């Protein structure tokens, strides 16, 4: 019987270690997903807890293993308007879950993105958190062009038009059997509200995101 060479043995150990690390991640993620409670965030909390706040266009989406071997989805934003934090020409956010080889991980309620879409994102814990958005879906707002107003307007993650910001509340358009009727808030007004909150922040508690 021929003994494995040191190089082959080392490769086997590396493969086993990667497999153990991936299994540990998936088991841990399953527990985290089952136990995770998403805290309701108001407008001042979104602004205060965010490490970066940007408006950007999705220019790249890539699914690959992260450095630990766990499946991750990397979403890159370009054409940025930065309202808070240090950001370069582009911003890449890492979301846990996706496809890596034969491993597929899907996480309920994780925001998903499409190439070319534009959004306002409130970012915190990028590269560390399972979801790098404050309040998960609460930290993402769609931006779309409104033909009637001839300007960009803002919608929530579930595509309900934002109609204003009043104190601590982000006001959503009321829904009716025929659809929403209130005019959506222009992006420029939404960004002014963010800038105003940054300049004169309301008191907030800052527990886990």
Each residue's pLDDT expressed in tens, for the chain with a length of 209 residues: 444 444 443 344 344 334 434 444 444 444 344 435 689 999 999 999 999 999 999 999 999 988 888 899 999 999 999 999 999 999 999 999 888 777 788 888 899 999 999 999 999 999 999 999 999 999 999 999 999 999 999 999 999 999 999 999 999 998 766 665 689 999 999 999 999 999 999 988 765 55
Distance CA 177, CA 169 (A): 24
Question: What CATH fold (topology level) applies to the domain 43-199?
Answer: OB fold (Dihydrolipoamide Acetyltransferase, E2P) (2.40.50)
Distance CA 184, CA 172 (A): 9
Residue 90, CB-side half-sphere exposure with 13 Å CA sphere? 12
Distance CA 46, CA 25 (A): 28
Distance CA 209, CA 29 (A): 17
How confident is the model at residue 106, as a pLDDT?
82
pTM of the model: 0.81
Q: In terms of C-beta density within 10 A (0-12 exposed, 13-18 middle, 19 or more buried), how is residue 180 classed?
A: middle
| Residue among 61, 91, 65 nearest 74 (CA) | 61
Q: Under a CB-based contact definition with an 8 Å cutoff, are residues 57 and 77 in contact?
A: yes
Where are the domains positioned within the chain? 1-35, 43-199
Token digits of residue 197: 């909150």
Distance CA 18, CA 100 (A): 13
How confident is the model at residue 98, as a pLDDT?
83
Distance CA 111, CA 60 (A): 15
User: What 8-state DSSP symbol labels residue 147?
Assistant: T
User: What 8-state DSSP symbol labels residue 4?
Assistant: P
> CA 75 from chain center: how many Å?
9
């Amino acid at each position: 019987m021929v003994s494995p060479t040191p190089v082959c043995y080392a490769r086997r150990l590396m493969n086993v270690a990667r497999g153990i690390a991936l299994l540990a991640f998936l088991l841990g993620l399953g527990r985290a997903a089952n136990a995770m409670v998403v805290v309701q965030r108001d407008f001042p909390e979104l602004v205060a807890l965010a490490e970066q706040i940007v408006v950007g266009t999705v220019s790249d989406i890539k699914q690959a293993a992260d450095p630990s071997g766990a499946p991750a989805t990397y979403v890159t934003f370009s054409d940025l308007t930065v309202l808070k934090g240090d950001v370069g020409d582009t911003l890449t956010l890492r979301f846990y879950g996706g496809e890596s080889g034969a491993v597929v991980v899907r996480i309920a309620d994780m925001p998903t993105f499409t190439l070319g879409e534009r959004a306002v994102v409130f970012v915190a814990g990028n590269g560390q958190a399972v979801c790098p958005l404050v309040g998960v879906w609460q930290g993402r707002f769609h931006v779309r062009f409104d033909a009637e107003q001839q300007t960009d307007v803002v919608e929530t993650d579930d595509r309900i038009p934002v109609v204003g910001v009043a104190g601590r509340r982000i006001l959503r358009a009321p829904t009716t059997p025929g659809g929403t009727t209130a005019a959506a808030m222009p992006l420029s007004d939404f960004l002014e509200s963010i800038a105003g909150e940054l300049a004169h922040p309301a008191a907030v508690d800052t527990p886990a995101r």
